[in-house]
Amino acid sequence: MYKKMLDKIAHSEKIIRDAVKNYRRIAVACSFGKDSMATVLLAREVHPEIPVFSIMTIFKPKETFEYLVRMNKRLNLNVTVYMVARDVPPVLSGNGINVKLLPAWRFEKESAEVETVYGKKIYEVAPDRCCELLKVEPAKEAVKDLDAWVCGLRNTEGRTRKDYKEIEFRGLVKVNPILNWTEEEVRGYLEAKGVELHPWYNRVFPDGRLIRSIGCEPCTSPVYDWQEEREGRWKGTSKCGGECGIHTRRLK
């Protein structure tokens, strides 16, 4: 088992090493979930100065912002955050985080229209549109000057990720170095590296469910261990267990 994991780590690092060699303008995307944290660590082993960027939203849990600040300082990530918002969240202010605010007027306008018509939040009525405005559009801005980006996708996370490849060519090259890792292997790697998990992963609900995939707060729910990790995303909506669009839409 130990050798198998070492082989996986070596394989993942080779994928990143080849990508860094082949694509000069490359960066790592980090949501500060367990998978992207493992990917950032692997990438920094290969290329200590590789840029790191993150797409944050106004609906992210405060614990995500706090964890981002801790990891940025501890691991010297120098992360750049892209976010649709009027103001920088207080927790990110004064902590050396480079935050690029993007115009919020369109999201605010459409959110208000949805609430007026339906009496509900946009993420309840139109989750795809909410993700389009708050995640996909900022991601396009983040990668506009890149040739390739490195992501923490895994085939076993959920139904939508089973057919992804380690290298994908969609205008912008996407590199998925931990695609064949398991949830347990990701956790074990982070533990071996002495890197704490986002605190939501340690929450245990009375019925035994756990948070196993973290997104925006209102769109994240716990699941049982026999379920797929992403079944807790967008629960109760038309896109339950699906994708925000960053990995399915053409970004460039």
Contact 152, 42 (CB under 8 A): no
Please name the residues in contact with 199: beta carbons below 8 A apart, sequence gap of 6 or more.
63, 67
Helix (H) or strand (E) holding 168: strand 167-170
Contact 15, 181 (CB under 8 A): no
Among candidates 57, 62, 58, 60, which has minimal Cα distance to 136? Answer: 57
Give the number of other CB atoms < 10 A from CB of residue 53: 22
Among candidates 144, 122, 137, which has minimal Cα distance to 84? Answer: 137
- DSSP string over 109-144: HHHHHHHHHHSS-HHHH-HHHHHIIIIIHHHHHHHT
Among candidates 93, 94, 26, 88, which has minimal Cα distance to 56? Answer: 88
- The SS3 of residue 201 is helix
Catalytic residue from among 30, 131, 151, 244: 244
Give the number of other CB atoms < 10 A from CB of residue 114: 19
* Spatial separation of the C-alpha atoms in residues 104 and 53, rounded to whole Å: 20
240 noted as active-site residue: no
Contact 65, 79 (CB under 8 A): no
Give catalytic residue positions. 244
